[in-house]
Structure 1
Amino acid sequence: MRITAGCTPASAADLADADLFDPAFHAAGDPHAVWARMRADAPLHRQVLSDGRAFTSVTRYADACRVLGDHRAFTSERGSILTQLGHDDISAGQMLVSTDPPRHGELRRPLNGKLTARALADWEGRIRQAVTHFLAPARDGGVWDVAQRAYDLPMTVAGALMGVPESDWDDLVRWTAMAAAPDDETFRVGTSGAATLAIAHHQLFEFFAQTLRTRRTEGPGENLIGHLMTMDAGGAKLSDAEVIYNCYSLLLGANATTPHTVSGTLLALSENEDQLRKAAEDPALIPGLVEEGLRWTSPASSFLRYAVEDTELSGGRVPAGEAVAVWIGSANRDEDVFTDPYRFDLLRADNRHIAFGHGPHYCLGATLARVTFRILFEEFLAGFRSVEPAGPPQHLKSVFIAGMTSLPVVTAPR
């Protein structure tokens, strides 16, 4: 998805013609202009597809928080991703992202302890090693593609946490990219996004099913997969299907979003040299840089919910049964919440972004992501004095993930 420094609101005609369900629009168009118009004039914008399916877009920050935070009024169990529109979610009630409380809490609580700041403290050395490897091509001062290289970064940490052999990491990175953006030519198999998604799901689910069979024989291991196999959730062990679904959910959550905050924040620093300079001069500002990078990139672009009952939002009433798409990138540019929202500002006060979601489904891996980003920018700012684009970025075709497939840059070592 295009990450713009400024925004010219779309005209009424542009708003009528904008197809937010089209992955290509998010790569070639400017959703920020459309979202700005929606926030101002159509905060509940209904789009009907040619096949009769329909969804309502929520673009204001307050409405986004209401929809994501109120599971009684808006359920995640009929699908949590816009591409699932109109199709039942077979993982409902079994996978974290497609399960409402109280079952969601029963699944989540045993995992929380494994991903706290204290639990992850011993992993900082490994994360710093992964970041050093990620930055290796930058040190010769030549052109390197930060977006392409960033796809491999989260797997080096998530793979180790899950106990997945390193020999399988490349396949898992490719399959999760296919699952997150099946319509993008970079990952598509053949000519069909639907076929690409089916292949990705088959490969990932079969991989975790085989892993589960092996560990049932050899022992679960001291890692996240082993924890899923042995933990109690609501007084019972997880079924094999629940273990497999949640292995998929954890891996997709790590691999699908993290790369795009890395590349998108570096692009923002290339366009705002004063911000890079401030962070380099005062490392205490790096946490603020991380939070502004998350707000700016909003890599999890949209979430889907269904209205359980007629519910009033700021733009009117959402009828029971209606599919509601929450646009995170729009909420994180809401003028009523963020002063000068189209300015990248690491000193931004009270940065209440919802890049990690909001409410019961707040990202389980948020702490790990923040640690990874902090270490990455510590290493980058200590080792490099500038980053400059060496070619145009290629934006991802996806309604789910905002990011890039390519961003060639030149980085000047200190």
Structure 2
Amino acid sequence: MRMSPNAPDGQVDLDSVDLFDPFLHSEGHPHAVWRALRAEAPVHRQQLPDGRQFWSVTRYADACRVLRDHEDFTSERGTLLSALDVGDPAGGKMMAASDPPHHTMLRESLNRVLSARAVNARRNTLLKPVDRLVEPLLNGESTDLAVLAADFPMDFIGTFMGLPESDWPRLTKLTTMAVAPHDPAFQEGSAPLTLVTAHHELFEYFSEQLAARDGTPTDDLIGHLMQTRIDGKPLDHESIVYNCYSLILGANVTTPHTVTGLVQALMDHPDAYRAVVADPSLVAGCVEEGLRWTSPASHFMRYATQDVRLSDSTVKAGSALAVWLGSANRDEDVFADPYTFDITRRPNRHIAFGFGPHYCVGAALARLSLRMLLERVCALVERIEPAGEVRHLASNFVAGVTSMPVRGVPRDGAHPARLS
């Protein structure tokens, strides 16, 4: 996704805004659209050619309210625009598509294995994927960072879930197919067929993984879900499969694009990179600014359960609302100089991981892996240079890239052997 807040001709026609279009997010200027909407129509209704409608929520305060208030805005009818008005069979079963109290009980169970303390205890598990990503930056040759980054989260979520390493490449592609079925780099047939294929294969895969355990819990995330009890009852087969799908999707389709977006920002702002290299205490702040800057999950959808007022608009009961996180994270009323990449930004109350009860359950894992990666890069790589054209992902859900050729310039004495 392009980060420019300005449209090429300087104008944004709000009557023709189409935030549903995945190609706006890959070839257009969504930040320019969001900026205009925040100023002129912060809660904006869009109607699709087939008659379906949704409201775009673009200001930070409104975004936080919608994501926080599960009584006025439900998650159980679908949380992505790809499911607009078609329902979600995972509603009330998958944590991401559930409301409290079911959501709360399921989240508390997963938090026991994905909390900051639990994840930090498995820090050594992250060393291998970190070094796999860094190694190609030490040979002085061009490499596609988007391809490397796409494999990065699968390395650790695959391990955490107890999935065979031989399955990881296909799972990585399937998760991107599920959120970017219109992108030519990931299509297998038409866009609708790509989406159906991704969902079918992923659900079937996790169903088979669960069946292979034959009712015996294993020491991994799938085994943990098998042992989870909600109101004293175990999760059924379908609920476990849905939540496995949600966990792998959440890891695979967001973290890679934070990596590429953060590296792009550091290439565009070499002074910031030099500052982090000189002072490792800036790593955490740099990662947080990278999360705000990239906002890899572009939107989350909710449905109004009753008539509600947001800004100056009345949203009727049953209406769908798309909360645009990338817009909220550029809200001028919350972030000073929001279009400036500032690794010392304080405070930095971004909502890249969402907000409220559905705050990303994997946030601690994502933060730790990103910090470890940046620390390793700063220690071994003098600088990273662009080495080719960047191609952006066609998706209204994920803000990212499909190709990003770069060349690393290693520090004196830094070479792949140092990683062994």
User: So what's the TM-score if we normalise by structure 1?
Assistant: 0.97
SS of match in other structure, 1:118: helix
Specify whether residues 115 and 300 from structure 1 end up closer, same or farther in structure 2 by C-alpha distance, changes over 3 A only. Answer: same
Residue 204 in 1 paired to residue 207 in 2? no
Q: How does 1:359-378 map to 2 (within 5 A)?
A: 359-378=356-375
Once the two structures are TM-superposed, the CA of residue 319 in structure 1 deviates from its matched residue by 1.2
Deviation at 1:230, TM superposition (A): 1.3
Q: Structure 1 residue 384 and structure 2 residue 396: aligned?
A: no
- The alignment's C-alpha RMSD in Å is 1.3
User: Where does structure 2 lack aligned partners over 5 or more consecutive residues?
Assistant: 412-420
Q: Higher mean Cα deviation, 170-179 or 355-364?
A: 170-179
Gaps of 5+ in 1: none
Measure how far apart 1:11 and its partner are. Answer: 6.1
Is the aligned partner of 1:234 residue 2:231? yes
Segments of 4+ moved more than 4 angstroms: 8-13
Alignment partner of 1:285 is 2:277: no
Name the counterpart of 2:2: 2
Task: State the shift of 1:135 in Å.
Answer: 1.3
How many angstroms apart in 2 are the aligned matches of 1:22 and 1:160?
Answer: 35
Shift of 1:14: 2.6
Shift of residue 409 of structure 1?
A: 0.7
What's the CA shift string for 1:243-274, capped at 9, x where partnerless?
00000000100101010000000000000011
Corresponding residue for residue 129 of structure 2: 130
Task: Tell me what 1:103 maps to.
Answer: 102
Aligned to 1:150: 149
Measured in 2, the distance between the counterparts of 1:273 and 1:184 equals 31
How many residues align structurally?
411
Q: Secondary structure at the match of 1:325?
A: strand
Answer yes or no: is 1:214 the counterpart of 2:205.
no
AA matched with 2:147: Q
Task: Return the offset for 1:118.
Answer: 1.6
Question: Shift of the alpha carbon at 1:115?
Answer: 0.7
Shift of 1:121: 2.1
1:299-310 maps to which residues of 2 (within 5 A)?
Answer: 299-310=296-307
Q: In the TM superposition, what are the counterparts of 1:241-320 in structure 2 within 5 Å? A: 241-320=238-317
Q: What is the rounded CA distance, in whole Å, between the counterparts of 2:343 and 2:231 in structure 1?
A: 42
Cα deviation, 1:255-308, whole Å, max 9, x if unaligned, reads: 010100000000000000111011110000000000000000000001111111
Q: Is the 8 A contact 1:9 1:37 kept in 2?
A: no
Deviations 1:75-124 (A, max 9, x none): 11111001111111111000011101111011111110101122112321
In the alignment, the residues of structure 1 paired with residue 258 and residue 217 of structure 2 have an alpha-carbon distance, to the nearest angstrom, of 33
Would the alpha carbon gap of residues 397 and 314 (structure 1) be closer, same or farther in structure 2, given more than 3 Å must change?
A: same
Q: Determine the C-alpha separation between the residues in 2 that align with 1:117 and 1:173.
A: 24
Residues 43, 57 of structure 1: 8 Å contact kept: yes
Counterpart in the other structure of 2:71: 72
Equivalents in 2 of 1:365, 1:152: separation in Å? 17
**Cα gap change, 1:9 to 1:333, in 2 (>3 Å):** farther
SS at match of 1:201: helix
Question: Quick check: 118-127 or 12-21, which moved more?
Answer: 12-21
* Alpha-carbon distance, 1:174 to partner: 1.2
1:405 aligns with 2:402: yes
Residue 3 of structure 1 aligns with an amino acid whose one-letter code is M
Overall identity of the aligned pairs, in %:
53
Question: Which of 317, 322, 329 is residue 319 of structure 2 equivalent to?
Answer: 322
Q: Per the alignment, in what secondary structure is the counterpart of residue 13 of structure 2?
A: helix
